[in-house]
Amino acid sequence: AQSVTQLGSHVSVSEGALVLLRCNYSSSVPPYLFWYVQYPNQGLQLLLKYTSAATLVKGINGFEAEFKKSETSFHLTKPSAHMSDAAEYFCAVSPGGGNKLTFGTGTQLKVEL
């Protein structure tokens, strides 16, 4: 069984500031981990994924995430927030690449001037 916890349903940052969205997972087998972004009225879009290769994963739009097994974490970061980053972000886990994705409850990112 697997689960995902996203700490903070709402995160607000200033434009240009560091973005940090937290995700902790639980999995009985080596996990694959994902971050998705959802803009209003659009489908979830894959930002990046960890599939047991490099622990630091770079994604689109300047985002990256680091898999830390000891902390069971997969936090999403971006050095400098842009207004266009405002969206909802979902962390997800699947059991070693199996079909089933288990999602967190999402974090709404707000970027302020």
Partner 1 sequence: GAVVSQHPSWVICKSGTSVKIECRSLDFQATTMFWYRQFPKQSLMLMATSNEGSKATYEQGVEKDKFLINHASLTLSTLTVTSAHPEDSSFYICSAREPGQTQETQYFGPGTRLLVL
CB of 67 to partner 1, least distance (A): 15
Task: Please tell me the distance from the alpha carbon of residue 104 to that of residue 13, in angstroms, as a whole number.
Answer: 21
Q: Are 56 and 66 in contact (CB under 8 A)?
A: yes
By beta-carbon proximity to partner 1, the closer residue of 40 and 56 is: 40
**Closest C-alpha among 93, 14, 108 to residue 51:** 93
Residue 99 contacts partner 1 per CB under 8 A:
yes
**CA 40 to the chain's CA centroid:** 17
Site string for partner 1, 8-47 (x = CB under 8 A): -x----------------------x-x-x----xxxxxx-
Name residues whose C-beta falls within 8 Å of residue 24's C-beta, 6 or more positions apart in sequence.
Answer: 4, 5, 7, 71, 72, 73, 74
Is 49 one of the binding residues for partner 1 (CB under 8 A)?
yes
CB of 110 to partner 1, least distance (A): 16
Per CB under 8 A, the list member of 15, 17, 22, 51 interacting with partner 1 is 51
Out of 81, 94, 107, 109, name the contact with partner 1 by CB under 8 A: 94
* φ, ψ of residue 8 in degrees (nearest 5): 95, 105
Q: Which residues bind partner 1 (CB under 8 A)?
A: 4, 9, 32, 34, 36, 41-46, 49, 51, 90, 94, 97-106
